[in-house]
Chain A
Amino acid sequence: KQEVTQIPAALSVPEGENLVLNCSFTDSAIYNLQWFRQDPGKGLTSLLLIQSSQREQTSGRLNASLDKSSGRSTLYIAASQPGDSATYLCAVRGKTSGSRLTFGEGTQLTVNP
């Protein structure tokens, strides 16, 4: 059974810092991995999708990497801003779970002005 773990559970940084969020998964047989952002009480916004054959994806100040063999992904946020404050979730779509996504518990990020 796929398990997804995110570290740290919470992170508080001053504005302007570069930061890294970590995601690990137990079964490397995946189709892809997605990073999402969730604002309090809201739905999920897709940030980046990395296919199993890819090593990284970039969108603006965000860069996500994938090391499938070691079961790890990182989300790098450059020059953080208060508007980046949210919960960040990673999810994997495993080959043994059909189209289901398995989610981590999330990292709650606070960027202080």
Chain B
Amino acid sequence: SAVISQKPSRDICQRGTSLTIQCQVDSQVTMMFWYRQQPGQSLTLIATANQGSEATYESGFVIDKFPISRPNLTFSTLTVSNMSPEDSSIYLCSVLWSNTEAFFGQGTRLTVV
């Protein structure tokens, strides 16, 4: 299995600012993903973080708003840029272990005021 450390666990941010969320995995994995979970809803995939190349974004998500870095096979960051109250959500990173089972970090609970 994979152990994922995600930080910060929560934050309260002013509108117009940016927050960078970090995701560290205890072993090398090919596939890393970032999800958003809005209040009372299920998970929506933001993007797939690709090592050594640009992330692949899902429909409705753009790089300018959610820039992603993936410098190596154990680490990724997601930045939520120019935040508004509508960005208040739980953000989760996930990995696909052995190309089979998905594991998730503890989540980052973001509140934008």
Contact = CB atoms under 8 A, between A and B. Distances in A.
Which of under 10, 10 to 19, 20 to 34, or 35 or more describes the interface residues of B? 20 to 34
Which of under 10, 10 to 19, 20 to 34, or 35 or more describes the interface residues of A? 20 to 34
A36 B106 CA distance: 13
A46 interface: yes
A43 B31 contact: no
Q: Is the interface of A mostly helix, strand, loop or mixed?
A: strand
Nearest to B97: A46
Contact of B42 (A34, A46, A49, A106): A106
Contacts of A46: 1, 101-104
Interface of B: 1, 6, 10, 31, 33, 41-43, 45, 48, 90, 92, 94, 96, 99-107, 109
Interface of A: 31-32, 34, 36, 41-46, 49, 51, 89, 91, 93, 99-101, 103-106
